[in-house]
Amino acid sequence: MLVETLPEPGGAAATGMTAPETAYRPQPLLHDLVSTVLAPTTALGDADGQIRPAGVQGLFHADSRALSQVKLEVDGREPEAVGYAPDGPGGARFVSLPRWLGDRRADPTVRINRTRRVTPGALSEHVEIVSTASVAVTAAVTLKLSCDFAPIEVVKSGGDTVPAPAVISGPGELSWRSGRIGVTVTGEDAKAEPGETAWLRWEVTLPPGGRTVLRWNAVIDDPEAVVVAPARAVEWSRPQVVADHRLTRLLEQSLDDLRSLRLAEASAPGDTFLGAGVPWFLTLFGRDSIWAARMLLPLGTELAAGTLRVLARRQGTRVDPDSGEAPGKIMHELRRHEFALPGNDLRLPAAYYGTIDATPLWISLLHDAWRWGLPEHQVAALMPYLEAALGWLGEHTDAGGGGFVKYLGTRAHGLANQGWKDSGDAVRFRDGHQAEPPIALVEVQGYAYQAARHGAALLEAFGRPGAARWRDRADTLAERFRARFWVDGPHGRFPALALDGNGRPVDALTSNIGHLLGTGLLSDEESAAVAELLVSPEMADGFGLRTMSSREGGFNPMSYHCGSIWAHDTAIVIAGLARAGFGAQAGTLAEGLLAAGETFDYRLPELFAGDARGSVGRPMPYPAACRPQAWSAAAAITIMHAAVGLYPDVPAGRVLLRPLAGAPLGEVSVRGLRVAAKEVDVAVDRDGAVSVSGLPAGICTELVGNG
């Protein structure tokens, strides 16, 4: 999912040469910005409520910046910030003080309460000015506005933009237009002044103890957007949870964020998926949207169904080396036009297929949704797409031979790495040097093994041929994997990160191996060895699971994929550990994410730095991380689900119960999970005993030993 803006290894930065000043523009930082989002619209600004003409600040809609400046001034001065708070999906409140107004004493007597509300295609604000002064207050309030219509890729690369001039289109109304995209801002009872920097202006007079409310709104007209707000209500349940307060608060914020990230295609508004993250990736991303829907299955199957159908409609039908498309392949990302970074070789077509893992993950999402109770007629309708996806897995993934699923990269302008760690330097040997393609990633072999098994189960259940062939293929892959991927090192014996283009194991210890847990590719003994490595100090003495061991040559705690911590990565491993019965290890990683949640106001970012706790005391932000981000928010649901351990197989008429061994998160009670559209309640006491009620008729329970 990464779009790189840094110089490639071997360029001027690597050789010590001095590059021209214009050759490198760093990506704007956003870790301290406040995002207010209801997809596909986002407002990004400072913690004082101002949206300044700098970096990535602005009002965005579907990959385009609508307003680049929204700055409130009183008597030509900016009020002083006091604080802000989120106000549910699409809402935020800001408090500031114009301390030069009112009584001359230590306590402020004039206060501004600024309430922001984002809805799809619009932003509105109520600016309440409250006086407790003993004298009348008179002030000129202005809203300074700019619009540049900058594409998100230009903003991301720090590129130059040009303000568009505003015109007066009505009383208190300003308008901007670029092609078919239009923006209109209206201030109730305001005077408008046009120009490249435009203004709305109010004259305010308050009596002693008086108050007034100023209102304005922005509306975006964007008929070319490829993503829109869904046409239906939220698809998943909102469970009632009694647990550690950190988990309940993380869940509440995460559920708000997930609601705010809901999207649909303009051509099919009835099928919902989750946009990957704000601001860079608020669109359809195969891998991200699939993982997020899979994590939300305990709350219902409707999101999974929408995600599956959206991606099935865009499933590849031809071989196209430029886009990476191939018959049966699931796409990587969708944009309104080519995604091209100024001053960078990376150019991705509007529909880009450069991903090695979205297709097997799509297969497993269909299988898991079926087992959670997705109606059979909906599964049956997707079976032709399943067969096509299996066809891609069997015919288009073994570049150069060897029997493993691998990628070459798509031409010179696509992503060099095509697993979830898709930055250019993500695949490194223990000594730090980079692997050459074609690359066979370790976790992708696990995904492929699981997809073959899952595909076989679906083919058999729905009367389609080929189940035995896919089970045989999975068994063969497991044998090859055991022979080729396991390596010895200072950590002991473990699976390598990948095989490189020469078939050599890329021998760095990374979080990727945790994704093998639960796929069936590992034996019980191998799973135990992996579980212990994942919670070793080199991997887990921070606030979650590091992407790379701190003992590796390529380790950097502030890198994108070589030492940072990703919430979704940690959550996937927690789920695998829990399902395999490694409760203590799962609890260790879950505690790290819960501690990180406190630091980030319970809105987990895309990733954060992998520093040891003892070195910094709290997790440090990765400054360009998306926040909110779909699979990071979904991590909270995964932690909750792992704690209670409810694993349904509706077609087989049973539910397995396997709460976290040792109940490391203490007592957890959840009301409102969904199995086959029925609300189910689960409770786990402090001793790990579990009870369940509300299961659909005909479903029996089976308690699996939890340690």
pLDDT digits (tens, 9 = 90+) for 252-271: 999 999 999 999 999 999 99
Query: Which one is predicted more confidently, 659 or 338?
Result: 659
The domain segmentation of the chain, as residue ranges, is 41-224, 228-684
pLDDT digits (tens, 9 = 90+) for 203-219: 999 999 999 999 999 99
Please give the Cα distance from 70 to 66 (Å, whole number). Answer: 11
User: At CB < 8 A and 24+ separation, what contacts does 187-196 make?
Assistant: 187/143, 187/214, 187/215, 187/216, 188/214, 188/215, 188/216, 189/214, 190/143, 190/214, 190/216, 192/168, 194/165, 194/166, 194/167, 194/168, 195/165, 195/166, 196/146, 196/163, 196/164, 196/165, 196/166
- Give the mean model confidence (pLDDT) for residues 342-370: 91
Q: Are the beta carbons of 200 and 185 closer than 8 angstroms?
A: yes
Q: Give, in order, the Cα–Cα distances in Å from 352 to each of 333, 358, 366, 413, 443.
A: 5, 12, 22, 11, 22
Residue 6's pLDDT is 34
Please give the Cα distance from 381 to 268 (Å, whole number). Answer: 16
**In 86-193, which ranges are continuous DSSP H helix?**
152-156
Where does the pLDDT of residue 129 fall: very low under 50, low under 70, confident under 90, or very high at 90 and above? very high
Residue 399's pLDDT is 80
User: What is the 8-class DSSP label of residue 650?
Assistant: G
Q: Among candidates 689, 667, 705, which has minimal Cα distance to 242?
A: 667
Residue type, 140: A
SS3 call for 660: coil
Q: Are the beta carbons of 497 and 427 closer than 8 angstroms?
A: yes
Residue 15: is its pLDDT beyond 70?
Answer: no
Residue 12's pLDDT is 29
Which three-class secondary structure string do you get for 464-495? CCCHHHHHHHHHHHHHHHHHHCEEEECCEEEE
Please give the Cα distance from 521 to 525 (Å, whole number). Answer: 12
- Give the mean model confidence (pLDDT) for residues 484-492: 92
Q: What is the mean pLDDT of the chain?
A: 94
Residue 17: is its pLDDT beyond 70?
Answer: no
- Give the mean model confidence (pLDDT) for residues 555-559: 98
Residue 564's pLDDT is 98
Residue 23's pLDDT is 56
Residue 631's pLDDT is 98
Tell me: cis bond preceding 605? Omega within 30 of 0 counts.
no
pLDDT digits (tens, 9 = 90+) for 263-310: 999 999 999 999 999 999 999 999 999 999 999 999 999 999 999 999
Residue 383: is its pLDDT beyond 50?
Answer: yes
Q: Which residues on adjacent β-strands are paired with residue 216?
A: 125, 187
Q: Is the dihedral of CA 367, 371, 372, 374 positive or negative?
A: positive
Residue type, 321: P
Is the backbone of residue 617 left (phi > 0), alpha (psi -120 to 50) or beta?
left
Task: Please give the helix or strand (H or E) that residue 393 lies within, else none.
Answer: helix 383-395
DSSP string of 622-643, one letter each residue = -TT--SSBHHHHHHHHHHHHHH
Task: Please give the helix or strand (H or E) that residue 584 lies within, else none.
Answer: helix 583-599
Could you give the count of Cα atoms lying within 13 Å of 65 in the half-sphere of its Cβ? 33
Q: Among candidates 275, 296, 270, 297, which has minimal Cα distance to 286?
A: 275
CATH class of 41-224: mainly beta
Where does the pLDDT of residue 409 fall: very low under 50, low under 70, confident under 90, or very high at 90 and above? low
pLDDT digits (tens, 9 = 90+) for 53-98: 999 999 999 999 999 999 999 999 999 999 999 999 999 999 999 9
- Give the mean model confidence (pLDDT) for residues 383-390: 98
234's tokens: 């939220």
Residue 338's pLDDT is 84
Neighbours of 589 (CB within 10 A): 27
Where does the pLDDT of residue 489 fall: very low under 50, low under 70, confident under 90, or very high at 90 and above? confident
Lowest-pLDDT choice from 363-367, 411-415, 582-586: 411-415
Q: Among candidates 338, 324, 318, 315, which has minimal Cα distance to 390?
A: 315
Lowest-pLDDT choice from 7-11, 431-435, 617-621: 7-11
Q: How many residues does the chain have?
A: 707
Write down the CATH number for the domain with range 228-684: 1.50.10.10
Task: Go through 185-197 and write b for each residue having 16 or more CB atoms within 10 A of its CB, e for each that does not.
Answer: bbbeebebbbeeb
Distance of CA 612 to the CA centre of its chain: 24
Residue 22: is its pLDDT beyond 80?
Answer: no
Fold agreement (41-224, 228-684) = no
Residue 237, φ and ψ in degrees, nearest 5? -80, 160
607's tokens: 């990733």
Lowest-pLDDT choice from 386-395, 487-496, 531-540, 549-558: 487-496
Where does the pLDDT of residue 343 fall: very low under 50, low under 70, confident under 90, or very high at 90 and above? low
Please give the Cα distance from 52 to 56 (Å, whole number). Answer: 9
Residue 520: is its pLDDT beyond 70?
Answer: yes
SS3 call for 371: helix
pLDDT digits (tens, 9 = 90+) for 639-688: 999 999 999 999 999 999 999 999 999 999 999 999 999 999 999 999 99
Residue 479: is its pLDDT beyond 70?
Answer: yes
Please give the Cα distance from 494 to 365 (Å, whole number). Answer: 27
Residue type, 408: L
Query: What percentage of the chain reaches a pLDDT higher than 70?
Result: 95
Query: Which one is predicted more confidently, 446 or 409?
Result: 446
Residue 490's pLDDT is 86
Q: At what angle do helices 442-461 and 358-372 cross, to 10 degrees?
A: 40
Query: What percentage of the chain reaches a pLDDT higher than 90?
Result: 91
- Give the mean model confidence (pLDDT) for residues 565-593: 97
The whole-model pTM stands at 0.95
Neighbours of 319 (CB within 10 A): 12
Residue 589's pLDDT is 98
pLDDT digits (tens, 9 = 90+) for 225-246: 999 999 999 999 999 999 999 9
User: What is the 8-class DSSP label of residue 425?
Assistant: T
Task: Please give the helix or strand (H or E) that residue 385 lies within, else none.
Answer: helix 383-395
Where does the pLDDT of residue 518 fall: very low under 50, low under 70, confident under 90, or very high at 90 and above? very high
pLDDT digits (tens, 9 = 90+) for 111-127: 999 999 999 999 999 99
- Give the mean model confidence (pLDDT) for residues 416-443: 96
User: What is the 8-class DSSP label of residue 320?
Assistant: B
Per DSSP bridges, beta strands 654-657 and 700-703 are parallel
Residue 54's pLDDT is 93
Q: Among candidates 470, 646, 571, 484, which has minimal Cα distance to 251?
A: 571
